[in-house]
Amino acid sequence: MSDASGDERVKELSAFRKALIRPELGGMVGTVAVFTFFLLFAFDSGMFNAQGVLNWSVVSAQFMIIAVGACLLMISGEFDLSVGSMIGFAGMMIAIFGVTLGWPMWMAILVTFVICVAFGALNGYIVVRTGLPSFIVTLATLFILRGFTIFIPQTVERKTIIGGIREAAEGDWLAVLFGGKILTGFFQWMGDAGIIAVFERGSRAGQPVVDGIPMLIIWALVLIVFAHILLTRTRFGNWIFAAGGDADAARNSGVPVNQVKILMFMFTAFCATVFATCQVMEFGSAGADRGLLKEFEAIIAVVIGGALLTGGYGSVIGAALGALIFGVVQQGLFFAGVESSLFRVFLGVILLFAVILNTYIRRIITGER
């Protein structure tokens, strides 16, 4: 111990136990295990060439975007079960505004963000005002939003899928931020240099198969970095921990707990809308069933990442690793030709493991036996 006046009764924590106290530990071990597994057993499947890497990176990035929001919200002591419905709803709103009503795409996107974040604020407001568990409040929002997502397009368009978004977004400055790609020049160069595969025939002959990094991945990275710094390095981050650790104690110490929680609900809604916007730009259409079960996938990623369901403890990096594990395993099993239903079995097992491990870790931190 560096501190000379240390208490002689304090036993040095073993390095192992010290490492265990880091919330990201489970995520790190899991990531290494998953990559080792697929490198050994699925290396030849095409999972690790440029196209394969892009494939699971995009899927992981999708999980990461919603996991980041769910992570901060869970640390602040709340859940949001309406994330999946919010994704469907946000996509549908963009389609209605941008295609049916013919608004410029940037306006459709901005208005959708405002509406969805307002719904997040409403979730949070109801939770802090009534003191009801967020589980119940957002379960209600889950049904309300999903209902609107089916009802609105049926009423105005007589169908539940609205296409034509890509055409409507052509040349739009804001849509590019969600549907575009970056480093396309670099990928063309790598294709020309023979480092990555290029199309051999057809209208795109000579162009690389992977022609850039989708903005979706950039959004995921930016959100992770932002949320990680916010949580660990700022005053507001301390308030997030405090609000979830013990709301009354935090309040008595002058932490504006209600504002913190409402803001976290808004942030979760923001993340869901980012997800939805990227998705409709990629698919070119909005469907009423988009985002189904996404709220649970986000929560699972966060729990695998070491956060406690009871709040007050967790890590954004852990949640991001949880999302990565999620994406790699889902796509890896696909590449390896394993029956996709087994993915759910895997998910259930790993979730159980993560929760048990987290409970054990909490005992170590709080010193209870």
Partner 1 sequence: MTDPIIRMQNIEKHFGSVIALAGVSVDVFGGECHCLLGDNGAGKSTFIKTMSGVHKPTSGEIIFEGKPLDFADPRDAIAAGIATVHQHLAMIPLMSVSRNFFMGNEPIKKVAGIPFFDHDYANRVTMEEMRKMGINLRGPDQAVGTLSGGERQTVAIARAVHFGAKVLILDEPTSALGVRQTSNVLATIDKVRKQGIAVVFITHNVRHAMAVGDRFTVLNRGKTLGTAERGEITPEELQDLMAGGQELATLEGSLGGTV
Interface with partner 1 (CB under 8 A): 1, 3, 5-7, 10, 13, 233-235, 237-239, 241-242, 245-246, 248-256, 308, 312-313, 362, 365-368
Residue 182 parent element (H or E): strand 181-182
Question: In degrees rounded to 5, what are phi and psi of residue 208?
Answer: -65, 150
User: Would you say the C-alpha torsion 111, 62, 177, 100 has a positive or negative sign?
Assistant: negative
Unique residue bearing structure tokens 């109801």: 126
Task: Measure the CA–CA gap between 352 and 347, rounded to whole angstroms.
Answer: 9
Whichever of 286 and 308 has its CB closer to partner 1, that residue is: 308
For the CB of residue 73, give the shortest distance to partner 1 in the complex, in Å: 17
C-alpha closest to that of 239 among 223, 221, 266, 263: 263
Sort strands 286-287 and 181-182 into parallel, antiparallel or unpaired: unpaired
Task: Measure the CA–CA gap between 53 and 61, rounded to whole angstroms.
Answer: 12
Whichever of 207 and 259 has its CB closer to partner 1, that residue is: 259
For the CB of residue 363, give the shortest distance to partner 1 in the complex, in Å: 9
Whichever of 152 and 250 has its CB closer to partner 1, that residue is: 250
C-alpha closest to that of 123 among 266, 298, 248: 266
User: Would you say the C-alpha torsion 67, 69, 70, 75 has a positive or negative sign?
Assistant: positive
C-alpha closest to that of 54 among 242, 245, 190: 190
For the CB of residue 366, give the shortest distance to partner 1 in the complex, in Å: 3
Give how far Cα 32 sits from Cα of 36, 37, 51, 298, Å: 6, 8, 21, 20
Task: Measure the CA–CA gap between 236 and 256, rounded to whole angstroms.
Answer: 10
